[in-house]
Structure 1
Amino acid sequence: MASKPHPPLMKKHSQTDLVSRLKTRKILGVGGEDDDGEVHRSKISQVLGNEIKFSVREPLGLRVWLLISAVMFTVVALMALTFPNQLYDAVFDEELSNTKMSIRLYGAALLSISLIMWNGLYTAEKVIIRWTLLTEACYFGIQFLVTAITLVENGSVSNGALLLISSRVLFIIISLSYYYQLGRRPKKI
């Protein structure tokens, strides 16, 4: 049996063959966009994730704002739990006619929100920080509405209530601005 000579092997130069390079990159999962719109340059960046890049692009003052929020929520929650009458009197300039139970329940809810704020302070996850800021903005918005409605019903406005309402508007603006800054897609360099 005579064996037929095989034709000479032809090398395929994948570096010059554009279709072959694109197919190879697609199979490896390199160069495609992920859910956040980030284009991965290598397989290693996919495995390690993008958290290193996120830490560089944090808005200025974000961690300070999260710390201030966490401390503020914790302090007000502890005041509502331990001194409910004084907290109500400081805001509305009148004696508490209802039971202390509602103010203490408010303090318990604030303490729960403060735990979310502390968690947001110590995480590097962009999504968790955004949800923390959105939770804070929603809380301040609802508190603004409830305080404003209560002041209209009572017919009297105290200095403490005006300070509370104006501070809530400021806190809503700060929280939402950080929320939107974190949501923007970073520019490609």
Structure 2
Amino acid sequence: MAAKQPPPLMKKHSQTDLVSRLKTRKILGVGGEDDDGEVHRSKISQVLGNEIKFAVREPLGLRVWQLVSAVMFSGVAIMALAFPDQLFDAIFEEEAVSSKTPIRLYGGALLSIALIMWNALYTAEKAIIRWSLLAEACYFAVQFLVTTVSLAESSRIATGAVLLLVSRALFILISVYYYYQVGRRPKKV
């Protein structure tokens, strides 16, 4: 018995078959736009990815501001944990502190924020940098409001508290500025 020969293989020419080419490109995601509007022009760029679009275009001074913030949060946190009386006296110019526990809890919260700031300093991810800047701006805004209410209730204006209010307003502006600068879309070259 003679074995049946399989039918000859037909070679498909994908260069001439437009429907086949379009289906293949659609499956691979080549040629279409992704979420950021980037058009992948080759299979290699599709597989390897486009590293340029993930890079953060850092505004001038961002890393310096992150370092200053991390050091500032760490310093105040350590001072609140170790020397709560002196911290309260420096801000409100009052010797009497009814309890050190709230100030130490404040120091613990600041230490947690400081850890976030230190980690954001060493990352290149846009989302993490933006979230840390937003958290920083929110913290400064809340501290500004609480200090303002405390000063209004005590009807005494301490120079340390006024200096704190002015510095917090400045820190809010700087953090919000960098937040929006990091979030801007890079210009196409």
Task: Identify the TM-score tier after normalising by the shorter chain.
Answer: 0.7 to 0.9
Three-state SS of the structure 2 residue aligned to 1:70 is: helix
User: d(CA) in 2 for partners of 1:84 and 1:179?
Assistant: 32
Residues 10-159 of structure 1: matches in 2 within 5 Å? 11=13, 13-14=15-16, 17=18, 21-49=21-49, 53-55=53-55, 57-159=57-159
User: d(CA) in 1 for partners of 2:95 and 2:51?
Assistant: 51
- TM-score (norm: length of structure 1): 0.83
CA 1:97–1:13: 2 relative to 1, 3 Å: closer
Q: Shift of the alpha carbon at 1:147?
A: 0.3
Q: Shift of the alpha carbon at 1:32?
A: 3.5
Three-state SS of the structure 2 residue aligned to 1:144 is: helix
Q: Shift of the alpha carbon at 1:41?
A: 4.2
Q: Which letter does structure 1 place at the counterpart of 2:86?
A: Q
- TM-score (norm: length of structure 2): 0.83
Q: Shift of the alpha carbon at 1:159?
A: 1.4
* Percent of pairs with identical residues: 70
User: d(CA) in 1 for partners of 2:96 and 2:46?
Assistant: 58
- RMSD (Å), alpha carbons: 2.5
Counterpart for residue 177 of structure 1: 177
* Range that drifts further, 133-142 or 40-49: 40-49
User: d(CA) in 2 for partners of 1:91 and 1:50?
Assistant: 50
Counterpart for residue 3 of structure 1: none
Counterpart for residue 187 of structure 1: 187
* Range that drifts further, 38-47 or 108-117: 38-47
Contact 1:77 1:110 in 2 (8 A): yes
User: d(CA) in 2 for partners of 1:10 and 1:46?
Assistant: 24
Q: Which letter does structure 2 place at the counterpart of 1:60?
A: L
Contact 2:14 2:21 in 1 (8 A): no
Contact 2:56 2:125 in 1 (8 A): no
Three-state SS of the structure 2 residue aligned to 1:137 is: helix
**CA deviation string 1:136-169 (max 9, x = no partner):** 0110000000000000001111111111111111
CA 1:32–1:129: 2 relative to 1, 3 Å: farther
Q: Shift of the alpha carbon at 1:124?
A: 1.2
Q: Which letter does structure 2 place at the counterpart of 1:73?
A: F
Contact 1:51 1:124 in 2 (8 A): no
Three-state SS of the structure 1 residue aligned to 2:157 is: coil
* Range that drifts further, 26-35 or 84-93: 26-35
User: d(CA) in 2 for partners of 1:150 and 1:77?
Assistant: 20
CA 1:57–1:88: 2 relative to 1, 3 Å: same
Residue correspondences, number: 180
Q: Shift of the alpha carbon at 1:128?
A: 0.8
Q: Shift of the alpha carbon at 1:20?
A: 5.3
Three-state SS of the structure 2 residue aligned to 1:124 is: coil
